[in-house]
Structure 1
Amino acid sequence: METAGVIILAGLIIAAVYTSGVSSTFNEGVRQMVCLVNGPGCGEQTWVDEERPDEPEEFEWGTGNSNLSDNKNLGMQAAAADPYNWTDQEWTCLDSLWSQMSSWDPNLVDPTTGARGIVGFNPALHGSMPDGFQGSATAQINWGLNYIQESYGTPCSAWRYWQSTKTY
């Protein structure tokens, strides 16, 4: 019963505010604040009349990779071959790592960190970019496997490090 009373009271207050003109006073105050920053709604045009700007382009990390399965196959074959022989759990860790880094996109550039490609190569951390690296899934995978082996020993060690730092 109390809830119904509160709802009815709230409805009456809203109706009173709407009919009293307080809402138009509030709306006029907002319009004047917008006019202070030269926004739409000043003068004769309103925001609805004004041509709305285009939606900003959204950047989604790791999307738009049309070669995802091909790149994963290249990675799986290279990881399973000598000298790595990484299969099963090590492959799962490698897939998790590079899926998080880039979704296996060789053309990706992270605008925040500068990391590039499938493996997240960062010139600021890793030195100059190897020849043929840019846009080449094979070159990136080969570099990444070698980097993981030299720096972490195995993909699972690199994945554990990445999970705690979001870098490797």
Structure 2
Amino acid sequence: MQHRHQETRRPPRAYDLDELTGSYDSERDPYAGDFAEPKGVRALRLVKRAATSTVVIMTLVIVIVFVIVAKTNFGKGKPPPGAADISTNEMLKELSGYQMDPVVAGAEAQAKRRAYEKAVAAEKAAKKKAAARAKALKEKREWEALKKRMSNNPSAAENQAYAKKMNALKGWGGCWGSLLTMWNHESGWNEHATNPGSGAYGIPQALPGSKMASAGADWRNNAMTQIAWGLAYVGSRYGDPCKAWGFWQAHHWY
């Protein structure tokens, strides 16, 4: 009769909490050798466990930081709320929080009125000054153009036409007939007329002709310069052409 060899069975081992939670120490386990893993596999398992623990810890840290940031009020760094974010009660609170004194408000209004009136006055003055400057420039250009035309040997009729305008500008429009007749006797309205006996020269017969240089250096050939000098002489000596013509009629000179 053959006897079977019966293997000695070990009773089931109860695992303690340390082993279940990962703090198991194989050196204290008498049966550890029966279940020992190869060293390479065990090292890999330890590395994976450490990596997993690190990821979990980092995730928890990120979550905590996010919660702290979300609940933290950074004060001045927060942008001001828009009008849509302000309630009616908040608006009323802002409006009722400050009341301006009527005297202060009146002073503010007066300051604004004075500033406005000053700006309007300055604008009007600037426009008036610009208009006057433009008018003076226009008159100067017209005068220079007229003098240039009058220096090109104008006819007696042209000289008379320009003298009539200049006489009117002096306010002597009613005395034009007197001036026309008087200078017609003197020079025939010829800017080059010369009296050989006295040396009188030009339309107004200045004596001597060089006196007309006070009206312009071109007095010898420019009828405008001669007319301007002649009108100034008439006004200064007689008051107007009417009185000058009256004197001429009595003395045949003026």
Corresponding residue for residue 91 of structure 1? 176
The residue identity in structure 2 corresponding to 1:113 is S
Separation (CA, whole Å) in 2 of partners of 1:129 and 1:139 = 7
Matches within 5 A, 1:6-85: 67-81=155-169, 84-85=170-171
2: distance between equivalents of 1:101 and 1:151?
17
How big is each residue's C-alpha offset from its partner over 1:58-98, in whole Å with a ceiling of 9 and x where there is no partner? xxxxxxx97011000010010011xx11113x000000110
Over the aligned positions, Cα root-mean-square deviation in angstroms equals 1.8
Determine if the alignment matches structure 1 residue 144 to structure 2 residue 225. no
Q: Which residue identity is paired with 2:186?
A: M
Tell me, yes or no, if the aligned pair for 2:156 and 2:188 is still in contact at 8 Å.
Answer: yes
Q: Counterpart in 2 of 1:134?
A: 220
The reply to whether residue 110 of structure 1 matches residue 198 of structure 2 is: no
In the aligned structure 1, how far is the partner of 2:158 from the partner of 2:198? Answer: 26
Say if 1:165 and 1:154 are closer, same or farther in 2 by CA, change over 3 A. Answer: same
The residue identity in structure 1 corresponding to 2:206 is: F
- Name the TM-score, length of structure 1 as normaliser: 0.55
2:239 alignment partner in structure 1? 153
CA contact (8 A) 2:179 2:241 kept: yes
Q: Which has the higher helix share?
A: 2
Distance in 2 between residues matched to 1:128 and 1:68, nearest whole Å: 22
Give the whole-Å Cα distance in 2 for the aligned partners of 1:127 and 1:71: 20
Deviation digits for residues 111-155 of structure 1 (CA, Å, limit 9, x no counterpart):
1221111001012xx874412211210000000001100010010
Task: Quote the Cα distance in structure 1 between the aligned partners of 2:219 and 2:168.
Answer: 21
Higher relative contact order (CA 8 A, sep 6+): 1
Question: Unaligned 5+ residue runs, structure 1?
Answer: 1-64
Q: Which amino acid aligns with 2:235?
A: Q
2-side partners of 1:66 and 1:78: how far apart? 16
C-alpha separation between the residues in 2 aligned to 1:69 and 1:151?
26
Q: How far is the alpha carbon of 1:167 from its aligned partner?
A: 1.3
Detail structure 1 runs of 4+ shifted over 4 Å in the superposition: none
Structure 2 partner of 1:121: 206
**Percent of residue pairs bearing the same amino acid type:** 32
3-state SS in 1 of match to 2:191: coil
User: What is the aligned partner in structure 2 of residue 100 from structure 1?
Assistant: 185
Alignment partner, residue 4 of structure 1 = none
TM-score computed with the length of structure 2 as normaliser = 0.37
Higher gyration radius (CA): 2
* Residues 129 and 85 of structure 1, relative CA distance in 2, 3 Å threshold: closer
User: 2-side partners of 1:93 and 1:99: how far apart?
Assistant: 10
The answer for unaligned runs of 5 or more in structure 2 is 1-152
Compute the displacement of 1:162 (Å): 1.1
